[in-house]
Amino acid sequence: MPDFLGVWLPLWICTWIAAVVQYVSHRNHGFVTVITFLVAEFGALVIWAFYGMVLYPRYFTPFRQLPTPPGRTLRYGNRKQFFPEYAWDDVRNAAETVPNNGLMRFYDALSKEALVVTKTEAIKEMLTLKPDDFGHPKNVQYLMHRLTGSRFSFLSPHGHKAFRKHLRPAFTVAHIRSIMPTIWGRSDHMTRLIRRELQANPDPHHTVDIRDYLRRTMWDIFGLIVLGHDFQTLDKPAAGTRDKLVGILGRMNGRLVQWANFIMTYVDVRPLLKVLSPLLMKSPTGKALEQIRNSVTQAVGRKETEFRADTAKRGSNEQREGEGEGSGRDITHISLKSGVFPSEELIDNAMLFLTAGPNSTAAAVEWAIYEMCRRPEIQARLRDEINECLDPAQLNGTSGLSGAALLRNLQSLPYLSAVCNEVIRYYPFVPLSPRVAERDTSLLGVPIPRGATLLTPVEVFNRSKELWGHDAEEFNPDRWMGVGRETNGGAANAYAFMSFGAGPGTCIGKDYARAMMACLVAALVREFEIEVVNLETAGRLLPAPFKKSLEGMQVRLRTLHHS
């Protein structure tokens, strides 16, 4: 079905023309003109609705031959209600119950049409073989730009290749190893602050807001690894911009995003956003985002000055030892070294990492805590492994352990890696990933016209019995244990694990995410016995496009050892 504005705007213009003609030909009948205008407007709306909801899905859609879930209603489409809390649930149900060959039709409320991609062959073709044919929805790009002030190059096909190519050195395993002491240091610092809170509140029923600690730790880690800048959100919790940094993504995940997302499904909101953006930027969220961008701009400015001074000192042609891959330097420094990113892009990229990384990784650690408390035997087994295999002196930094050795040590803990991988499989942060056909193309031999919307129900792949075996619906870290299973969890198909996306647009930060998760989970588990107080309700999800607990985990912690 065409966008509302796509059909509505021409009709709306026609009604204006009709009204003006009416007015000019009957100068004395202003009232008649108004009535004519209103009737014509209403008529245009009815025509749009009738065409879009009744005629188009039945007679005009190019996807008539594809299966569609039964029981479509005009108002809700294939959904059960107008504003579903979890937009991915109905899509997943449909994909799992309606027989199809890899593609099916799905109608959102008001009969907005999308194609659901249900088989790995179709995912492979869309994301790996034809990535340039399928882009991100324009509305998302525009909203991100308006809100963050950043043009995220990964969202536009032409900027994407350069972005990946020149940032590669900052995302290699060698580089991540070199920054492990930073990640571990902050994770350890978090546990020290929690211990301090527990000492100040000796009541055994005292609960700790672990979400807040995780967010702050994430921001500090990201500040350091992206900008070489310490936001100090852990040490100075409520400090102006820093506090906003921490709170902002929590707010963005709420109903506002869900509504915006819903409306954007139907309407090209770009003209509206243009008009509204000054107002949006005056809202608390807008102001906080502006402050974040200002902080990032200043940090990038400082880095550029330092870099230029350093280059001048060493001589521009001299080979700089110990920099780039594996240097322990921050991502912005490595980007500067590539020499291809103008200042504005450096800022945009830093904003991208700060938007994409902390929230998703913190959510994954929260789910790990949830599962470790739902099944305490997982927690106990993890603790045993950590205590057995990691020397406390090494972790406390007293043995001069290098980052590489630290990462190797953490990665050599099979159960820790298994728990982290299983959490990411079971709780994909983006459960429904949309794409839009950038040009006329095809998928599994089905012609796809430019502008068609395609949905990847990530959970359908992540929890498919066909791909993962009979226990696919269970949270079971053991599937990642054993020779050959550490990297694929026993799923033979490369597209079975879709939490990080696939193809050239796959999550560039996935190894960072795993390293951070391992550090944070290990730091918490070796230090505390963890109990989630709100276990009954903590699994309820935030109504948002992201898979995140609504309440977060309220935890009771018992300190296990003191260093």
| Residues binding ligand HEM (CB under 6 A) | 154, 160, 164, 352-353, 356-357, 360-361, 364, 424, 429-430, 433, 499-501, 505, 507-509, 512-513
Place of tokens 């269970």: 474
Nearer to ligand HEM, 1 or 520 (CB): 520
Q: How far lies 396's CA from each of 76, 499, 526, 563, in Å?
A: 56, 33, 12, 8
Nearer to ligand HEM, 53 or 498 (CB): 498
Side chain identity, residue 475: F
The least CB distance from residue 141 to ligand HEM, in Å, is: 11
Nearer to ligand HEM, 424 or 557 (CB): 424
The pair of three-digit structure tokens given for residue 212, joined into one six-digit string: 């807040």
The least CB distance from residue 348 to ligand HEM, in Å, is: 11
The least CB distance from residue 429 to ligand HEM, in Å, is: 4
Nearer to ligand HEM, 246 or 508 (CB): 508
Q: How many CA atoms lie within 13 A of 51 on its CB side?
A: 14
The least CB distance from residue 331 to ligand HEM, in Å, is: 8
**Residue 434 main-chain phi, psi, to 5 deg:** -90, 150
The least CB distance from residue 221 to ligand HEM, in Å, is: 9
Our measurement of the distance from residue 221's CA atom to the centroid of its chain's CA atoms, rounded to an integer in Å, reads 18
Cβ–Cβ contacts within 10 Å for residue 445, how many? 9
Residue 420 labelled as part of a binding site = no
Nearer to ligand HEM, 341 or 429 (CB): 429
Q: Which residue is nearest to ligand HEM (CB)?
A: 509
The least CB distance from residue 299 to ligand HEM, in Å, is: 16
The least CB distance from residue 360 to ligand HEM, in Å, is: 4
| The Cα angle at residue 199 between residues 198 and 205, in degrees rounded to 5 | 45
**104, containing H or E segment:** strand 103-107
Cβ–Cβ contacts within 10 Å for residue 385, how many? 20
Spatial separation of the C-alpha atoms in residues 526 and 400, rounded to whole Å: 20
Place of tokens 């006329």: 440
Nearer to ligand HEM, 78 or 360 (CB): 360
253-256's contacts with Cβ under 8 Å and 24+ in sequence apart are: 253/359, 253/542, 253/544, 253/546, 253/548, 254/542, 254/543, 254/544, 255/543, 255/544, 256/285
CB 344 within 8 A of CB 497: no
Nearer to ligand HEM, 141 or 554 (CB): 141
Binding site as annotated, residues? 507
Binding site as annotated, residues for heme? 507
